[in-house]
Chain A
């Protein structure tokens, strides 16, 4: 048993629902107790779908336990077929039905339904949502896809986009455009928008684009083996990755790389002097493996941040994330326990967090700016506007999204230049942060009084200043030091004072320390 307050992933049957809901003409019969229908609202509310997920629940109750649940399943299955007339069905059990061992697959097989019925085995007590989606897509494709003649022109499939996926909708659009510039059209996108008949003609493509390894890798590997379709390894999130992705495709197809960069703004925005203040911003990354790996490259190579920590919650991606962490010289954090994530963030005290909805809340609690890069996400991250993460426009979106929560460079300078002005004192914060934000530039936090709203700086102050006390005049003097070296000056002075065995820091100590370190 394991105590859990927050889960990054749902149970595996929610993953199967994400595949079923993404598709058309497919129906999912889920052997599940009353109450499991809660998952419907993830799709109707968070993703704002305008139709019910194509899922029928058997809704068994305590009084049905025994032989009756099997009949309940068969009736539900037959009714679902009669009502919805799908091209194919998937059947499976939720965690409770797994315990009563009714074998939905076997039962459905004996019913002789006139459409393919695909049985799912999803171990609810070992695996989670992403596995459920990956496995379901793999089962569907294995059951339906057959070798076929290649299309005359070069086409590809987009594999892995599902319901409730972070920006999957717009990533598909963006990729379709990128590929079209290279002269490649899309054969099928699966599961998002595909019907079972579309799945049957997957084999006609020349290769697969694996958009999201978490939800499409098993299917791509099977298609590589059985249908002879190679698949791409690079996920085109970020400028560098997009270019590598197109190079990879060029190798696969023999077509020359063609990338229309006329709308690509990230490189210039990042190079412009306004972005100088981003240099060396210490960021912490957490999310699903794919998005974290992509974000790490952008953060370091395209934004000039310093990656101080990274990790993922899906252990399926643990190996690549560990390798990546080694490359970045940081400790990998592979955990699905948000308290561990929170503790790590507190210890690292980054200036920015790139993470999930959960890290957003951690950031809010600790007063650290945060941008969302990965599922799980709330309703605001299923936006109405076009906002992909992949490709050219994705890079633009990412630049804006990441920079926005940070105090603007110029604003930060003004804040400090006029810090004694009644409207611009340190505690006033930046205008768009509702007064709660206190500037925190390289060099560490300013010596705030204990009333500082920033959990981290308060804690750091408490730790560092536990043995030495800043006298009021010394603290006033410290504030006259430019903000970008102030934190360093504060730390050095405290270390100096501790070494000298001083319990209080006056102006003299401050300048003695300065002289000491100047040597």
Chain B
């Protein structure tokens, strides 16, 4: 199986099972946990309930103690009774917060289910607060509520809220869109620079004052598949989307770079010179890590929208068979190139009815199940090996140098199962 031979029939037009029912997923607020690490002068202020605060704390684990740049203003009875003073209350809390943290340059008011349901106008609050605290602090708003967003969509909503505020430019440039770990972002920029593509900016930037602009001569490539609204917002600013498979694994990274290189007229020799060495390294690392994976079957529960590109990586580069690939949403205009490379066979599923999906999973008895933490231990106890999906969002997994690590994340649970010589007590 090689990259040069895409499957005879990909999954682009495969039927998609759409189900409604209980969703076992995070809401968009969870995106704050990695976004606040990326944007070093931003504070994320959730306007919500105790549940929202408890969710962030449970999901962030110990990170909450490292002087976090996120918090929750918890709505109380009095806020629900009279909406009039909600704006004043918010202004007071924000003023207190900004006094305590003068290093904050951008403040995101993050909407939650309660604030959306009572129709608290955070957009207006953000405008008013910007007037009060400018120029030092810019206040934006987006919704991370569970009724509107699923897990990584929180990042999408956040980035989309920033697009209208970007300065206009006519310069011909490439924009990378998606929050990547710094080390990965630097690798990507270095590869592009070696190919002579120097006019590159990244959304989001690490700090508010880092250069970032958009305009009709901007082309942008997504590094994450969950950025549908951001894509629309950028197109509205005149920028053009560059469709490509996502940079997971050696083949995904090469295809992604290829799409960018073609757009910027990089010749084949240059492309070959820049990518040859890291390609070989990545392919070798994947082969080593994937020994355990070849011939095994995998089942994806919906979580982050990374499922389709990851299924493409696992089937094409690690020799796995996909049984079901569930995703919370499937944007064909974004994951189309990955769907084309995914051999027909797996059931594609959008949305979820978790009990029905569990029934399908138990019936299929996959070798590896990729799922959330609420399902992982119960499935392990039933004898199914699991890989918990959240790690795939937090860990550096994109581009060549991480390809081996990415395969390793999936092979580790299987190697552990093989290593343990214990019968479970229960």
Give chain A's interface residues, CB within 8 Å of chain B: 1-7, 9-11, 13-14, 33-42, 44-45, 48-52, 56-62, 64-65, 76, 79, 83, 94-96, 99-100, 124-126, 128, 361, 365, 378
Contact = CB atoms under 8 A, between A and B. Distances in A.
Contact of B64 (A5, A42, A51): A5
Contacts of B90: 1
A41 B73 contact: no
Interface in B16-46: 21-30, 45
Contact of B58 (A38, A65, A79): A38
Nearest to B358: A52
B350 to A, nearest CB: 13
B53 A7 contact: yes
Nearest to B77: A125
14 contacts: A1-B47, A1-B73, A3-B72, A5-B70, A10-B54, A14-B51, A34-B25, A35-B29, A35-B145, A37-B23, A44-B373, A50-B380, A60-B147, A76-B21
Contacts of B27: 33-36, 38
Q: DSSP class of A's interface residues: helix, strand, loop or mixed? A: mixed
A48 B373 CA distance: 10
Contacts, number: 177
Nearest to B27: A35
A1 B75 contact: yes
- Which 5 interchain pairs have the tightest Cβ spacing? A35-B27, A35-B146, A40-B374, A50-B381, A96-B113
A62 B79 CA distance: 22
B235 interface: no
B146 A7 contact: no
Nearest to B143: A62
Residue of A2, A13, A76 contacting most chain B CB atoms (<10 Å): A2
B378 to A, nearest CB: 5
Contact of B355 (A35, A51, A83, A361): A83
Given A3-B96, A44-B377, A36 B76 contact: no
B355 A79 contact: yes
Given A1-B76, A34-B146, A62-B147, A96 B117 contact: yes
A57 B22 contact: yes
A50 B117 CA distance: 35
Contacts of B73: 1-4
A99 B80 contact: yes
Contact of A38 (B26, B68, B375): B26
B379 to A, nearest CB: 9
A163 to B, nearest CB: 14
B392 to A, nearest CB: 16
Interface of B: 21-30, 45, 47, 49-51, 53-55, 57-59, 62, 64-65, 68, 70-77, 79-80, 86, 89-90, 93, 96-97, 113-114, 116-118, 145-148, 150, 355, 372-378, 380-381, 426
Nearest to B64: A6
A41 B29 CA distance: 16
B374 A50 contact: no
A45 B377 contact: yes
Given A7-B50, A40-B24, A59-B23, 11 more contacts: A3-B97, A5-B70, A9-B50, A13-B51, A34-B146, A35-B25, A35-B55, A35-B146, A40-B373, A65-B147, A95-B50
B54 A11 contact: yes
Contact of B57 (A7, A44, A76): A7
A95 B378 contact: no
B25 to A, nearest CB: 6
B237 to A, nearest CB: 26
Contacts of A52: 374-375, 378
B373 A95 contact: no
Contacts of B373: 40-41, 44-45
The B interface is mostly helix, strand or loop, or mixed, namely helix
Contact of B147 (A4, A9, A51, A61): A61
A11 B355 contact: no
Contacts of A57: 22-23
A307 to B, nearest CB: 26
B181 to A, nearest CB: 23
B118 A50 contact: no
A12 to B, nearest CB: 9
A33 B53 CA distance: 15
B374 A1 contact: no
B118 to A, nearest CB: 6
Interface centre among A3, A94, A128 (most CB of B within 10 A): A3
B147 A33 contact: yes
B53 A4 contact: yes
A71 to B, nearest CB: 12
A368 to B, nearest CB: 15
A4 B71 CA distance: 6
A35 B28 CA distance: 8
Contacts of B26: 35, 38
A268 B26 CA distance: 51
Nearest to B52: A95
Contacts of A94: 51
A361 B66 CA distance: 10
Contact of A95 (B21, B51, B372): B51
A95 B58 contact: no
Scoring A13, A14, A44, A128 by chain B CB atoms within 10 A of each residue's CB, the highest score goes to A44
Nearest to A358: B65
A103 B96 CA distance: 37
Nearest to B146: A35
A304 B199 CA distance: 69
A127 to B, nearest CB: 9
Contacts of A64: 147
B214 to A, nearest CB: 28
Nearest to B25: A34
B378 A49 contact: yes
Contacts of A7: 50, 53-54, 57
Nearest to A5: B71
A471 B317 CA distance: 68
Contacts of B148: 61-62
B150 A34 contact: yes
A2 B374 contact: no
Contact of A33 (B50, B71, B145): B145
A35 B114 CA distance: 13
A176 B364 CA distance: 43
A1 B74 contact: yes
Contacts of B378: 44, 49-52
B380 to A, nearest CB: 8
Residue among A10, A13, A361 having the largest count of chain B Cβ atoms under 10 Å: A10
A96 B114 contact: yes
Given A2-B73, A3-B97, A61-B147, A44 B374 contact: yes
Given A1-B75, A2-B74, A125-B80, A41 B89 contact: no
A95 B114 contact: yes
Nearest to A12: B50
A49 B377 contact: yes
A346 to B, nearest CB: 15
A124 to B, nearest CB: 6
B76 A125 contact: yes
Contacts of B50: 4, 7, 9-11, 95, 124, 128
A333 B47 CA distance: 27
A3 B58 contact: no
A313 to B, nearest CB: 13
B49 A11 contact: yes
Nearest to B381: A50
A57 B147 CA distance: 13
Contacts of B62: 361, 378
A365 B65 CA distance: 9
A95 B25 contact: no
A99 B114 contact: yes
Contacts of A361: 62, 65
B301 to A, nearest CB: 12
